[in-house]
């Protein structure tokens, strides 16, 4: 099919002009990505402004129209599915894969076009999900774990004209980008803790890294230091202050290396955001844990830590209300209750004691990544204005400071759990 663009803002590319309208189109698929990468590499050879080119590429990722009925029909033909009447629509708010809700007149499915520019090892994802499928006993989880359906060839991925797709069972319910109350956050913590619990007996060494060194704080800190040394930006007072703050977090890196040398790797989700859960419509039960591509071997504090980072902050990640950014201790306590209860009889004391560190570590790593991207010219994360990654890093700094200030209170919460055992 033809890839088309809406003519609004015009940006010059080599030998061509395209119009961009990022509000109308979603993330590109693998077919167009090959062309985009070629344009990026070719244009950067002739341009002395690679950061500008990278922002053009990021905008391109949000403007390509690529799904039509014939593509969906061709995909479904690879599965033992009868189609009476076909309808489909864009679904969800994810930024990596393009996702659709598809109705065949008999059943509802989720179709996902796989982005192999972010996840460069789809074979590893298939291998990891096969391990889960083999090890998961029916009824062992109090919710659904919607793994991809195998196609007629017996594999998870279906290739169509250079593009990769997957088909999932549809799980009804609600997804949320934030929690409204501590009860919802406790449900989230219980769901992700139960995931870890069910696969505790699985040798995490059977899993391959789908994103190598994804949560390696030592690596991210070294990348940050390299970006500071190689930065071509003019460093203003605000940026210099942020650089100084993150350079002062070396103790978290040292603690990461210490835990890495002693704690066991487990089967972990590694992306425990609230919108990777499907709640029941009344928000009193979790129907499913989703977005399973990051499942690999990891430390349990990764999953608790990302929950802390995304749940307990009084402001969202985009907020610039600096003085209002702090830890909501009521929600933090609910995470402790929900996460510890399923696991406290199965994990060792050192693992349990490491969980609060995860909140600080995951907040630090995201702040480092945002600031590193800003210093490198905003080449990775999508931005809508030049200082957005700088402000994201400052947002995470404020949360990290609050977490560190609340360490005594948090340690009291953990100690009270220990006394209940």
DSSP state of 28: -
pLDDT at 100 over 50: yes
- Measuring CA to CA, which residue among 165, 141, 160, 133 is closest to residue 287? 141
pLDDT at 95: 55
- CATH: 3.65.10.10, 3.30.200.20, 3.40.50.800, 3.40.50.150. Which one for 69-169? 3.30.200.20
Residue 220 pLDDT level (bands cut at 50, 70, 90): very high
| pLDDT tens per residue, range 325-349 | 999 999 999 999 999 999 999 999 9
Residues contacting 11, CB < 8 A, separation 6+: 17, 18, 20, 56, 59
CA distance 41 to 53: 9
- CATH code that applies to domain 182-420: 3.90.1200.10
Average pLDDT of the segment spanning 233-246 = 96
Q: Is the pTM of this model over 0.75?
A: yes
| pLDDT tens per residue, range 175-200 | 998 899 999 999 999 999 999 999 99
pLDDT at 418: 65
Considering only 37-51, 68-82, 210-224, 250-264, which range has the smallest mean pLDDT?
37-51
Residue 61 pLDDT level (bands cut at 50, 70, 90): very low
pLDDT at 419: 60
Torsion of CA 14, 19, 22, 25, to 10 degrees: -100
- Tell me the domain boundaries of the chain: 9-60, 69-169, 182-420
CA distance 222 to 228: 10
Average pLDDT of the segment spanning 120-128 = 93
pLDDT at 380: 79
Helix/strand/coil for 121: coil
Pairing of β 9-13 and β 277-279: unpaired
Residues contacting 370, CB < 8 A, separation 6+: 381, 389, 390, 392, 393, 396
| pLDDT tens per residue, range 14-60 | 333 233 333 333 333 333 333 343 344 444 444 444 444 444 444 44
CA distance 115 to 28: 8
Strands of the 163-169 sheet, one edge to the other: 87-90, 98-103, 108-113, 163-169, 158-160
């Amino acid at each position: 099919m033809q890839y088309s663009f809406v003519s609004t803002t015009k940006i010059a590319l080599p030998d061509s002009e395209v119009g961009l309208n990022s509000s109308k189109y979603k993330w590109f698929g693998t077919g167009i990505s090959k062309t985009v990468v070629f344009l990026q590499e070719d244009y950067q050879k002739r341009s002395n402004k690679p950061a500008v080119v990278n922002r053009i590429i990021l905008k391109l990722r949000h403007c390509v129209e690529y799904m039509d009925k014939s593509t969906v029909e061709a995909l479904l033909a690879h599965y033992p599915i009868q189609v009476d009447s076909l309808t489909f629509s864009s679904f969800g708010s994810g930024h990596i894969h393009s996702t659709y809700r598809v109705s065949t007149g008999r059943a509802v499915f989720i179709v996902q076009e796989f982005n192999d520019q972010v996840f460069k090892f789809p074979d590893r994802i298939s291998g990891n999900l096969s391990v889960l499928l083999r090890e998961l006993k029916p009824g062992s989880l109090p919710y659904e774990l919607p793994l991809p359906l195998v196609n007629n060839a017996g594999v998870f991925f279906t290739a169509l004209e250079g593009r990769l797709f997957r088909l999932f069972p549809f799980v009804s319910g609600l997804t949320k980008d934030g929690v409204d109350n501590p009860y919802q956050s406790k449900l989230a913590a219980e769901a992700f803790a139960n995931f870890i619990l069910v696969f505790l007996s699985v040798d995490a060494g059977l899993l391959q890294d789908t994103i190598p060194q994804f949560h390696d704080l030592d690596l991210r800190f070294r990348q940050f230091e390299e970006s500071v040394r190689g930065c071509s930006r003019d460093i203003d007072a605000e940026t210099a202050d942020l650089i100084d703050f993150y350079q002062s977090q070396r103790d978290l890196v040292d603690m990461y290396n210490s835990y890495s040398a002693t704690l066991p790797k487990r089967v972990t989700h590694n992306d425990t955001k609230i919108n990777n859960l499907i709640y029941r419509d009344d928000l009193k039960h979790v129907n499913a844990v989703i977005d399973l591509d990051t499942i690999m071997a990891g430390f349990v504090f990764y999953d608790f830590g990302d929950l802390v980072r995304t749940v307990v902050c009084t402001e969202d990640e985009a907020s610039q209300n600096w003085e209002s950014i702090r830890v909501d201790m009521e929600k933090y306590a609910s995470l402790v209750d929900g996460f510890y209860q399923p696991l406290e009889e199965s994990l060792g004391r050192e693992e349990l004691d490491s969980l609060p560190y995860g909140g600080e570590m995951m907040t630090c790593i995201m702040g480092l990544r945002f600031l590193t991207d800003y210093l490198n010219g905003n080449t990775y994360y999508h931005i809508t204005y030049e200082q957005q990654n700088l402000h994201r890093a400052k947002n995470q700094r404020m949360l990290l400071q609050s977490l560190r200030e609340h360490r005594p209170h948090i340690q009291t919460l953990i100690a009270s759990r220990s006394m209940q055992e």
